[in-house]
Every structure is written in structure tokens, then in C-alpha cells.
Structure 1
Amino acid sequence: MDHLIEKTIRQEKIFSGKVIQVYVEDVQLPNGNTSKREIVKHPGAVAILPLTNEGKLVLVRQYRKALERVLIEIPAGKLEKGEEPLATARRELEEETGYSAQSMRHLISFYTSPGFADELVHLYVAEGLVKLEEAAGLDADEFVDLLEVTLEEALAMLEAKEIYDAKTAYALQYLQLARALKK
């Protein structure tokens, strides 16, 4: 057993919402002392790096209430109960952008904020995009604008703090590194 593990002594659910649940846990620390942890449980999510046949990235502009501002992001969305990440990625790509992809490849999965949340994001690259005549459309409470930009334009937006979202920054830097290694 790892000597860094914290043992849960008591767990209390203090909030259950549409997307998240929040728990307060009493834990025994590795040195025998006790402490409290506030934990956000999340069903997990996907993020998609859609690349057009012209090599442009499809991004979304979306208002984020928690930040009280509009962000530019790669398309993303939460896993529905029992849904596989690839199916979620295909659904979210269609809903948020109106595109389907001939190729969808898993790049990596990562935790967004492991200090207090268990959200795991599965990052996919979508290629061979086809504009759908009848896309599924956004959720009733979702509103986005689409942008198509080159990687260089997206990196400039990142540098100018127009892109301020971690999953998007991560995906852009992943793509930048992948392209640099192919040269």
C-alpha cells in the first residue's frame, strides 16, 4: 500500500445537482492526523480538436457563467450515464459544430483539477469533417458561435489571452508539438 494514501473515515454528500455532486470527507492522513476534504464528483467529459480538410481548427465561443465571460474553446461536453467517451465525442462534435468526422482518434485523458474534483476529460482529434445538412443541434440551454482558425491564429489567441481555457490550451499545445515533431 502506498504510504501517501489518505483513508476516508466519513463521507457526507452536501449537494447533488444536474451535473455534479459535492462531498465533504473526513480523512486520516499518512501521519495519523485527520483532515477534511471537499470533493466534487463529475461524470467525466470529452473534448474534441476538430480539424477541417483545410487544416483549420473549429472552435466555439461560449459564455461561461462561473467566470462571467465568453471563452473560446474546443468543443466539449459531459459523458451521459452509460455512454462511452467516443460516442460522447461524436455527439458533442455534431451538436456544437454541425460537423461529423470520418476519423475520431483518442489522444489522451487527463484530470482537470485533481485537488478537489474527479473530472476526467478524454481528448479526441476529429478529422475528415463533413458538414451535416441536419445536425442534432445544441442543448436547449446552450448557445455558441463557431470560429475556424489556423493553429497559428489559435496560438496567437492563446498568447493574447483570448483563449483562456485549460483543455483548449492543452489541445493546441499538443497539436503544435505533434506538428513540430513531424517536420
Structure 2
Amino acid sequence: MSEGLDVIRRALEHDEALYEKVVSSKTEWEGMIFSVERQEVELSDGSHGLRDLVRHHGGAGVVAVMDGRVCLVRQYRVALDRMTLEIPAGKVDPAEPRDVCAARELTEETGLVADRLELLTEAYGAPGFTNEHTSVYYAHGLTQGPSRLDEGEFLNVVWVDVDDAIEAIRLGLIDDAKTVTGILAAKAYGML
């Protein structure tokens, strides 16, 4: 391994000067997909602070590419009050393996079936307040079948030239974290 990776590993080691010890924790709200928890923490200088955390089951997504074009889903996101372009993805069901979730979501949303999924990257979208963890896979050996959207799920499949998708990321037109992370990781690894 390179010296740079050793520097990164050391930077990620436990550091008492930055550590926040949880003193108390209370679930404030619990829903089907996530819960909200309030924690009191003791900081390294002895002072105390409050942290509001969103606990989430996590998700999985797929970078699917055919003929130089990446498969994206176009959908309205009420939290943003606008349309987004995202890789096919969804939440992991309890005890569901992440690759199984990714394959299921790919087929449900787009009708695509992959012969094999390869893990591209793991990402935490907003670690300042949530533990939501997304695994992003690259799809190999794609075939097209029928989609099977969940009840109440409305989206369109959009095929975008890979270079255009990367430029759209640079311009902020594609700004969903899992999508940006997945496409750029696939490009960095020479898969695009």
C-alpha cells in the first residue's frame, strides 16, 4: 500500500481529543424508514452538547451502463421540491443483503437484470446527523425486462451519455450523493 493510504488510515484512528462520549440517548420519533434520536454527549474538554441524529436502515444503488450510456431514474423529490436524476436505488429491508437490495431495486425501477453486481463504493451521505449508509454497485451483463414499480412510486428511466453525466455532475445538474459517488467511482476505476 502507498504511504498516502497509511496517512489516511492514521487520520481515521480514534483520537481522544476529538472524541464525543454519549452520556444519554433517547428516541424522539420512530418511523418505518428512519428514527430520530437525541443524544447528550460529553466533549473532550468536559463540556456537554446535544446531537440530534437520524437513524436509517440504509440503502443500495446501481450504476448500470449500456452502449456508453448510464441508466438514471427521473423522479420528483418532495424534500427538494424538484426533479432529480439518480441511479436506481432503494432502502435495504431488515436483514436483506445489500447486493440483493441493489439487484431488486434495479429490476423494480428499470426492468434491468444484471448477471453480476460488483461493489463500487460505500458512502455516508450526511454523517453530521445521520448514519444512513449506501452501498453502490456496478452492474455487469445487463438484460432488459419489465419494470415493477412499487405502489405509489412514479419515475421515468432516462439513459444519459456517460460523458454528459459526468459534466452534469460538474455543473451540479446531477447532485444526488449516491449518484455522484457511484458514477465518479466507476469512472475512476476505469469502468466507464
Q: TM-score, normalised by structure 2?
A: 0.87
Cα distance, 1:162 vs structure 2: 2.4
Cα distance, 1:12 vs structure 2: 1.3
- Take 1:177 and 1:149, find their aligned partners in 2: how far apart are those partners? 18
5+ residue gaps, structure 2, are 1-13
- Take 1:157 and 1:37, find their aligned partners in 2: how far apart are those partners? 35
Choose the corresponding residue for 1:72, options 78, 85, 94.
85
Match of 2:107 in 1: 94
Choose the corresponding residue for 2:165, options 151, 154, 169.
154
- Take 1:59 and 1:108, find their aligned partners in 2: how far apart are those partners? 18
- Take 1:40 and 1:5, find their aligned partners in 2: how far apart are those partners? 20
> Which residue identity does 2:159 align to in structure 1?
E
| Identical residues among aligned pairs (%) | 34
Cα RMSD, aligned residues only: 1.7
Is 1:173 the equivalent of 2:184? Answer: yes
Cα distance, 1:56 vs structure 2: 1.8
5+ residue gaps, structure 1, are none
| Mapping for residues 22-61 of structure 1, pairs under 5 Å | 22-52=36-66, 54-61=67-74
Match of 1:83 in 2: 96
CA deviations on 1:54-79 (whole Å, 9 max, x unpaired) are 23211100110100001011111110
Cα distance, 1:156 vs structure 2: 2.8
> Which residue identity does 1:177 align to in structure 2?
A
Q: Number of matched residues?
A: 178
Asked if the contact 2:138/2:186 (under 8 Å) is kept, the reply is no
CA deviations on 1:53-112 (whole Å, 9 max, x unpaired) are x23211100110100001011111110001000110110000111111012101121211
